[in-house]
Amino acid sequence: MNKLALTRTNLLLEATKVRRLRKALGSTSNSEAVRRAINERLAAEAGLRALRDLRRLGGPEDVFGRAATNSR
């Protein structure tokens, strides 16, 4: 993990959900699990924003003619 400036924050979280999150992510600490969950959510948001921008611009161009055509 990058050594960026970290700040201490107190959060009220459900212990069982934090344990489930740690297990799902394979994290060794609660802090690591929360940081990874935040990073993954931010990455997903960035991807969705890029898709929305691409859609607004008319979508990708099918240069190979392989995409299925919409028959709506």
Is 52 part of any domain?
yes
Is 67 part of any domain?
no
Tell me if 27 sits within 8 A of 15, measured CB to CB.
no
Looking at residue 3, what is its pLDDT? Answer: 74
Looking at residue 61, what is its pLDDT? Answer: 82
Tell me if 8 sits within 8 A of 16, measured CB to CB.
no
Q: What is the pLDDT of residues 48-58, one digit of tens each?
A: 999 999 999 98
Q: What is the pLDDT of residues 19-65, one digit of tens each?
A: 999 999 999 999 999 999 999 999 999 999 999 999 999 888 888 88
Is 48 part of any domain?
yes
Looking at residue 1, what is its pLDDT? Answer: 54
- Domain span at residue 22 reads 15-56
Question: Which distant-in-sequence residues (6+ apart) come within 8 Å of 34 by Cβ?
Answer: 11, 13, 18, 21
